[in-house]
Amino acid sequence: MNLVDWVTDLMHTAGAPGAALAIALENLFPPLPSEVFLPLAGFTAAQGKMSLLDAILWTTFGSVAGAILLYWIGALLGRDRVRAIAAKMPLVRVSDVDKTEAWFLRNGYKAVFFGRMIPVFRSLISIPAGVERMRLAPFLAYTAAGSLLWNTALILAGYLLGDNWHLVEQYVGLASKVVLALAAVAAIIFITTRLTKRRANSNT
């Protein structure tokens, strides 16, 4: 049984709570595609297996539940451990962690809200929030708000497209690939810059 079949059976069997479980798992394991699960939930709602409102509310609940778990993983990891890990990593400096921390302290709430609508990073953004021990109530509020917008858009698309719900996956999947490509380019630039500086320092 492939992933889509499993989620389809889950939603048909458990209804909206099954959709919530699928989205919670998607948050915990980013390679699982919300661009498949959410439109499929909309299509399932169009078939009468659950109401449209239940699909939106339950998947948002699943998003928040998954985000809380990742938040606590980040909190357990902690700032000191992150700095210690960074100190042992090649090409990474503790100052990089400090700069990232400073940026997150300035933009953390915006990052959590808008990050929920960016493929791949929508799950990972919860970890630095936990590392920085962002206040839990605002974290939950911004997570719920961003997730509600993302989930509603994709569920409505699946609901309206009916049998063609998979078209959402194609377009959002393309956006995910663009995000990953940009992240890869940024990583290459970072590594190249660090290696260039290291060579320059060794030659002086």
Q: Which two tokens stand for residue 169?
A: 């996956």
Q: How distant, in Å, are the alpha carbons of 26, 127, 133, 163 from that of 70?
A: 12, 5, 12, 34
Q: What angle do CA 29, 46, 170 make, to 5 degrees?
A: 45
So what's the pLDDT on residue 148?
A: 93
pLDDT at 144: 94
**Rounded average pLDDT per 10-residue block, the chain, 204 residues:** 68 82 80 76 86 92 91 85 70 64 79 81 81 90 93 90 74 63 66 66 65
| DSSP for residue 93 | -
Q: What pLDDT shows up at residue 23?
A: 85
What are the residue ranges spanned by the domains of the chain? 3-202
Q: What pLDDT does 79 receive?
A: 77
Side chain identity at residue 13, one-letter code: T
188: region left, alpha or beta (phi > 0 left; psi from -120 to 50 alpha):
alpha
pLDDT score recorded for residue 1 = 52
For residue 191, the model assigns a pLDDT of: 64
CA distances for 7 relative to 16, 41, 74, angstroms: 11, 9, 28
Chain centroid to Cα 38, Å, comes to 14
